[in-house]
A and B are shown apart, each in its own frame.
Chain A
Amino acid sequence: MIVASGLTKTYGSKTAVDGISFTVEPGRVTGFLGPNGAGKSTTMRMVLGLDRPTAGSVTVNGRRYADSPAPLREVGALLEAKAVHPGRSARNHLRWLAATNGIPVGRVDEVLDLVGLTEVARQRVGKFSLGMGQRLGIAVALLGDPRVVVLDEPVNGLDPEGIRWVRNLARRLAAEGRTVFVSSHLMSEMALTADHLVVIGRGRVLADCSMSDFIAEHAASYVLVRSPQRGEVADVLRRHGLDVAVHEDDELRVQGLDAPSIGELVGKNGLYLHELTLVRSSLEDAFMTLTADSVEYHAATPAGIAR
C-alpha cells in the first residue's frame, strides 16, 4: 500500500506536484493518469525517496521507502527504462542490483526469462531497442519479487504485443494481491488496465475513484433532442426533474432519462420531435475535458497529439 498525503514538490518557482493525497491499495491496479508534465514521474520519484518532498509525505507499507530494510524486496520500480549504462550487459545490470539487496543470482536468470530477454542477456544494453529496454526495466522492478510494484509509463515504446503483455502482467500482479501503481498519459490504456484511477493535472488530483465510477461520472452519455418547439420541450423535461442544457442549433442535451422515455414524455404533452439520439461520450473525451485546463503545453494540431 502506498499512502501520499499533502505531497508537494517545487523546483525553483515551478510547482510540479501540488499537495496531492491518495492511497494505492493492494490487490488492484491503480492507474496514475495525467497529461505530460502533470507530475506523475515526480510523484513516483518521491515515492522511492529519490526526490525529497518540499512538503507532505509518502509511505510504502506504512513506512518511508528509505526505512525499508531491503527496499528492492518490498518495492519494485520502473522509472526511466533507458537509465542503464549502455556498456553493461542486461545480466550484469541485474547482477549488481541483486547484490545490493542480497538477492541470489538465480533470481536474475529467472526475471530475464520472465521478460523474455534470456537470449540477449549478455549483450550490451546500448544495443537494445526501446522495447527491450522497457522489458529490462520491468525485470528490474520484479527482481526482488516485491509486494509493491511502481511502473512509470511502462508501455512507452512497446509494440502492441508488448503492450498486451504489460497489461496482463500488471493485472496478474494485482490478482496475486500486490499493490500495482501504473502511470500513463493515455486514457485508453488505463481503461484496459486499471481498476482504480488517480487522475492528475498540473500537480493536482482531479479524480480519485474506481474506473467504473469514472466512466459513469465523466463519460456520461446524454440524449440529444431537437424540436421545432424547443422552449416548450425544455420546460416539460425540466418539470420532470431532468437536466436540460441548450446548445447551438436548437439542440437540447438531456440527462437523467433514457431516449424512449423522453420521446414518450414529449409525445404525451403533444409536442413534436425532429431528433432523438443517445450520444455516448468517449472516455478519451472525458479525460481531455477533465484535464483541459491543466495541460501544460497544448499541441499545435487540433487532434492534440500527445508527446
Chain B
Amino acid sequence: MTMTPISRTVELDPNRNVPGIRRPGFSDTLRAEWIKFWTVRSTQWSVATLFVMGAGLTVLVCWAAAGELASETADEAAAAFVTWGLMLAQIAAVVLGAMVVTSEYGTGMIRATLAATPSRGAVLAAKALVLTTTLFVVGTATAFAGYFGGNPFLENEGVGVALSDDGVLRAMVGSGLYMAGLGLFAAAVGLLVRHTAAALSIVLGLVFVVGNMVFLLPGAWGEWIGKLMPGNAGSAVSSAASFNPMLLDPWVGYAVFIGEVAVVLLAGYLVLRSRDA
C-alpha cells in the first residue's frame, strides 16, 4: 500500500516544457477558432456547396431564361437573375452557421473550448468573426462568379446587365452580406437550442416556409409581418431587382434583418454566459 508522502512539493518552472509564456489574448482565441473551423470536412463541404450551387444555378438559370427574358412578353427584370443561385445556396450558409455552434454541443467539445478560453464572450466573438468573414468572402465571390458566368448568356440575347447598372454591384456585395448575416442567425439559434437538427429546422423553416406563408395573411399587418421576416427583409440586398414587389428597400431590409440577428445573438450570448456548459 502507498503511504502518505512527507511534504516534498517541488516548485515547477511553468515554462519548462512550454516556453514563451504570454498571456493569451483575443487573437489567440481567433486563431484557435480559425483552425477549428477549417479542420472539419463539413466546413469545406458547405463552402464548396455554397459556391457551386450559388454560381452554378445562376449560370444555368441565365442560360435557360435568356431567350424568354428577351421576348416581348417578358415581365421580369433580367437583373433579378444574376444572383438567382444564392436563393438556394443560402441553405449552405445556414448549415455552416448552425454547425459552428451545435457540433460543439453534439460532441461535448464545448467544454474543452470553454475550459481553454473561459471568457465566453471572446469565444462567441471569435466564432462569429470567423464565420461571417468566411461567408462574406465566399458569398461575394459566388455572386461575382455567377454574374460573370451567366451574364454572357443574357448579353447574347441583348438583355445583358452591366456591373454599373442600378443595384448590380450592390447585389454582389449584398450577397456576401446576406450570407454572413444568415450564417450568424443560424449560429445564434444554435446557441439557444444546442442541437443541429433543431437549429436547422427553425432557421430554414423561418426563411423558406414561414417567410413565404405569412404573405398569405390578410390585410396590411400580414403584409408587414411578411416584409419583416428575417429571410424576406435580409435577402433584398442580395438581388439587383426583386422577384417580390412586397419586400422592403434593400438597405432598409438589411438593417431590419441585422437588428433581428443581433437580438437573437444577444439572447444566445446570455444563454451561453449563464447556462452550464
Binary contact readout B26-67 vs A (1 if CB under 8 angstroms, 0 otherwise):
001101110110011110000000000000000000000000
Binary contact readout A66-106 vs B (1 if CB under 8 angstroms, 0 otherwise):
10111111100101101111111100100111011111100
Contacting residue for A147 out of B7, B12, B33, CB 8 A: B12
Residues on the B chain within 8 Å of A266, using CB = none
CB closest chain-A residue, reference B15: A145
Which of B111-119, B169-177, B239-247 contacts its partner? B111-119
B277 CB within 8 Å of chain A: yes
| Min C-beta distance of A150 to chain B, whole Å | 10
Residue total for B at the interface (Cβ-Cβ under 8 A): 49
Contacting residue for B24 out of A51, A102, A147, A191, CB 8 A: A102
A45 CB within 8 Å of chain B: yes
Q: Is A107 within 8 A of B17, CB to CB?
A: yes
| Min C-beta distance of A74 to chain B, whole Å | 8
Residues on the B chain within 8 Å of A80, using CB = 108, 111
Give CA–CA (A141, B190) in the complex, Å: 28
Residues on the B chain within 8 Å of A25, using CB = 7, 9
Give CA–CA (A250, B42) in the complex, Å: 72
Q: Is A102 within 8 A of B2, CB to CB?
A: no
A140 CB within 8 Å of chain B: yes
Residue total for A at the interface (Cβ-Cβ under 8 A): 60
Q: Which of B109-141 contact A (CB under 8 A)?
A: 109, 111-119
Residues on the B chain within 8 Å of A193, using CB = 2
Residues on the B chain within 8 Å of A140, using CB = 112
B219 CB within 8 Å of chain A: no
CB closest chain-B residue, reference A29: B2
Residues on the B chain within 8 Å of A68, using CB = 118
Q: How many A-B residue pairs have CB under 8 A?
A: 154
| Min C-beta distance of A65 to chain B, whole Å | 7
Residues on the B chain within 8 Å of A83, using CB = 107-109, 111-112
Q: Is A99 within 8 A of B5, CB to CB?
A: no
Binary contact readout B2-16 vs A (1 if CB under 8 angstroms, 0 otherwise):
111101111110101
CB closest chain-A residue, reference B17: A145
Contacting residue for A26 out of B1, B9, B111, CB 8 A: B9
Q: Is B112 within 8 A of A97, CB to CB?
A: yes
Give CA–CA (A144, B10) in the complex, Å: 18
Residues on the A chain within 8 Å of B22, using CB = 70, 102
Q: Is A48 within 8 A of B4, CB to CB?
A: no
Q: Which of A17-62 contact B (CB under 8 A)?
A: 25-28, 45, 48-52
Residues on the A chain within 8 Å of B5, using CB = 27-28, 195
Q: Is B107 within 8 A of A84, CB to CB?
A: yes
Q: Is B12 within 8 A of A69, CB to CB?
A: no
Residues on the A chain within 8 Å of B16, using CB = 145
B21 CB within 8 Å of chain A: yes
Give CA–CA (A99, B108) in the complex, Å: 19
Q: Is B276 within 8 A of A50, CB to CB?
A: yes
| Min C-beta distance of B98 to chain A, whole Å | 15
Q: Is B115 within 8 A of A92, CB to CB?
A: no
Q: Is A99 within 8 A of B35, CB to CB?
A: yes
With A87-B41, A92-B35, A194-B2 in contact, is A82–B108 under 8 Å at CB?
yes
A237 CB within 8 Å of chain B: no
A212 CB within 8 Å of chain B: yes
Q: Is B109 within 8 A of A99, CB to CB?
A: no
Interchain residue pairs with CB less than 8 A apart (18): A65-B115, A70-B23, A74-B14, A83-B112, A84-B112, A85-B107, A87-B42, A88-B39, A96-B33, A97-B32, A101-B28, A102-B23, A176-B10, A177-B10, A178-B12, A193-B2, A195-B5, A210-B4
By a beta-carbon cutoff of 8 Å, the part of chain A in contact with chain B is: 25-28, 45, 48-52, 65-66, 68-74, 77, 79-80, 82-89, 92, 95-97, 99-104, 107, 110, 140, 144-145, 147, 176-178, 191-196, 210-213, 215
Q: With contacts A25-B7, A52-B274 known, what are 5 further pairs, Cβ within 8 A? A: A49-B115, A97-B112, A144-B18, A195-B3, A210-B4
By a beta-carbon cutoff of 8 Å, the part of chain B in contact with chain A is: 1-5, 7-12, 14, 16-24, 28-29, 31-33, 35-36, 39-42, 103-104, 107-109, 111-119, 274, 276-277
